[in-house]
Structure 1
Amino acid sequence: MDMPSYFGILARYNAWANLRLYDAVARLPVVEFERPRAAFFGSIRGVLNHMMVVDELFLARLNGTTAPDRPLNAQPWAHFNELRNARAGLDQRILGTITALPLSRFTEPFTYTTTRGDRFSDQLALFLGHWFNHQTHHRGQAHDMLTQTEVAPPPLDFLIFQRIHGLSEAAAG
């Protein structure tokens, strides 16, 4: 499989997993969504906002545009419905951007500046790998926080996504 196809699948998986997670979170009372928890970013609202802030930042880096100037722990979406709508729109922008990348971009040097002002240069494929891994890492934290509520967290396994969408090895066979 070529890199554009692989990262396109990861972008589709990312949107699918976020949708499933947000569908579960939507069933929480506001107090549970906002409840302080012993986890990164302190609550389900906090970790979901962090994912959005970083995704806006990474998408801006990828597109060579300026991201909103926010700290990584900012919570610009205080209300769940605002956050959910923003997430759905951002996931579509991520998917559109990733699937439009030409093959040549994946191995070219990709230079960006961190929030601390340091400049780094990596292959774009490594940057994208980190981006999708970051999403999975924090979705796992939100998933764990859901286990501390009355709402059962949904299965988010990549293999489930592959099978649902006919992407398993047997289907590719």
Structure 2
Amino acid sequence: MKSYFDSLARYNRWANRRFYDAVASLSADEIAAPRIGFFPSLLKTLNHLVVTDRIWLSRLTATPDTEAKALDQIIAADFADLSAQRAALDARIVDFVQGLAPARLSETLVYKTMAGMPYETPVNMVLAHMFNHQTHHRGQAHGMLSGTTVPPPSLDMIVFLREEAAG
């Protein structure tokens, strides 16, 4: 199971890099433009993913994140700043997962939601949620990008695996 999460962390970084590279072709106005989605713009959706990954990583590492205040928070209104934060966060996630002792996957994470509700969730399910949540909202953003002049990149995991195997 550890190698599976290692692969998901690397895939997540790869998919985000490809997606952000495509979005970077848009103007700031196009990135912030209202679109159909749960977080109704590319900027809002991508900020949401940074916020939530920071929250989960802070819980997993027992290191408080004092900046994340709300799930719809705009951490970075400037796309270049958001992109830099995403890249740094993805590197932290890869490092965290690679450094994770396999036994930790079967441990239980005790945490509170942003509303203060206490929960306990197995670490392996928290990681599964993190990567699934990324894929879910990145898919929504991919759909938003389809409504622009920029062709959305392939984000299929099989493409990542083939590229990774090819070196």
- TM-score between both structures, scaled by the size of structure 2: 0.96
Aligned match of 1:127: 126
Runs of 4+ in 1 over 6 A off after TM superposition: none
Shift of 1:69: 3.8
Q: How many residues align?
A: 165
| Contact 2:51-2:68 within 8 A present in 1 as well | no
Deviations 1:76-98 (A, max 9, x none): 20011000111111100111011
The within-5 A match list for 1:28-107 is 28-67=26-65, 68-107=67-106
The DSSP-based 3-state class of the residue aligned with 1:165 is helix
Aligned match of 1:170: none
Structure 1 stretches lacking a partner, 5+ long: 168-173
State the distance in 1 between where 2:80 and 2:60 align. 27
The within-5 A match list for 1:107-122 is 107-122=106-121
State the distance in 2 between where 1:90 and 1:76 align. 13
State the distance in 1 between where 2:49 and 2:75 align. 12
Q: CA RMSD in A?
A: 1.1
Instruction: Supply the AA of the counterpart residue of 1:88.
Output: A
Aligned match of 2:2: 4
Structure 2 stretches lacking a partner, 5+ long: none
- TM-score between both structures, scaled by the size of structure 1: 0.92
State the distance in 1 between where 2:87 and 2:68 align. 21
**Paired-residue identity, %:** 45
The DSSP-based 3-state class of the residue aligned with 2:132 is helix
Question: Which piece of structure 1 moves more, 8-17 or 120-129?
Answer: 120-129
Residue 141 of structure 2 is aligned to residue 142 of structure 1:
yes
The DSSP-based 3-state class of the residue aligned with 1:121 is strand
Aligned match of 1:14: 12
Aligned match of 2:21: 23
